[in-house]
């Protein structure tokens, strides 16, 4: 599948970020990968991505980046991580705070790039969640709560896209999608799913949940 789109991978310095960047570039996309470490951004740059030092959790920094880049077709925040265990008593405030950046990145990127994604003829916003939201366990309650909140936000984004199209009296061209990883996140599954974001019409894709399994 060939896609000639500009895609921002925010917080992309993980293995999943590198695999997704490589898959998008191989498909013909222009990829902008962000991170907070030049050293960790180097493999993405070597893979052919444009790299930008920017904090995906910061609305101010993402807004500045959106202004710098101009036209963008898709944004995928990839800030993640897992903390948990120890039953409900083990769900510490420290672990909750460590997980919070994933939600912050979803909020910051969707808001900062909202206008750009809506201006695209095939705009996409996608987040990475987990199937744990369907059956939260005591030892992962912090993690499940953060993922559930991220999903709620992404669905709010989907509603905003649909309302924008209705108000304009036009066809829905933008879509907000939730990827749910089953078990641990597998980089190859995510990379293929991101490339496939343009395989369906936005009206079919908006406000959907895709399980990566």
Identify any residues that bridge with 7 across adjacent strands, giving them in sequence order: 31, 74
Q: How far apart are CA 156 and CA 87, in angstroms?
A: 31
First to last CA, the chain: 20
pLDDT band at 2 (very low <50, low <70, confident <90, very high): confident
pLDDT in tens, 191-212: 999 999 999 999 999 999 999 9
Q: How far apart are CA 24 and CA 184, in angstroms?
A: 22
Q: What is the pLDDT of residue 124?
A: 98
Q: Tell how strand 74-77 and strand 124-130 pair up.
A: parallel
Average predicted confidence (pLDDT) for the chain: 96
pLDDT in tens, 9-65: 999 999 999 999 999 999 999 999 999 999 999 999 999 999 999 999 999 999 999
Q: How far apart are CA 201 and CA 47, in angstroms?
A: 29
Percent of the chain with pLDDT over 70: 100
Give this prediction's pTM: 0.96
pLDDT in tens, 88-97: 999 999 999 9
Q: Which residues contact 20 (CB under 8 A, 6 or more apart)?
A: 9, 12, 76, 78, 187, 190, 191, 194
């Amino acid at each position: 599948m060939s896609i000639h789109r500009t895609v921002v991978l925010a917080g992309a310095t993980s293995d999943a970020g590198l695999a997704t960047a490589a898959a998008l570039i191989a498909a013909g996309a222009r990829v902008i990968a962000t991170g907070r470490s030049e050293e960790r951004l180097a493999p993405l740059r070597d893979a052919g991505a444009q790299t930008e030092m920017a904090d995906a959790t910061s609305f101010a920094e993402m807004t500045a980046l959106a202004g710098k880049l101009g036209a963008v077709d898709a944004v995928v925040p990839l800030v993640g991580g897992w903390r948990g265990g120890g039953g409900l008593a083990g769900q510490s405030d420290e672990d909750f705070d460590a997980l919070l950046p994933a939600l912050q990145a979803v909020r910051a990127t969707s808001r900062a790039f909202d206008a750009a994604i809506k201006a695209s003829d095939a705009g996409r916003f996608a987040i990475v969640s987990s199937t744990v939201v369907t059956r939260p366990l005591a030892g992962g309650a912090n993690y499940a709560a953060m993922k559930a909140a991220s999903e709620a936000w992404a669905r709010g984004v989907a509603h905003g896209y649909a309302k924008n199209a209705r108000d304009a009296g036009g066809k829905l061209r933008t879509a907000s999608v939730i990827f749910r990883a089953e078990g641990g996140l597998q980089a190859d599954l995510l990379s293929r799913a991101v490339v496939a974001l343009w395989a369906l019409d936005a009206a079919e894709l908006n406000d959907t949940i895709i399980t990566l399994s």
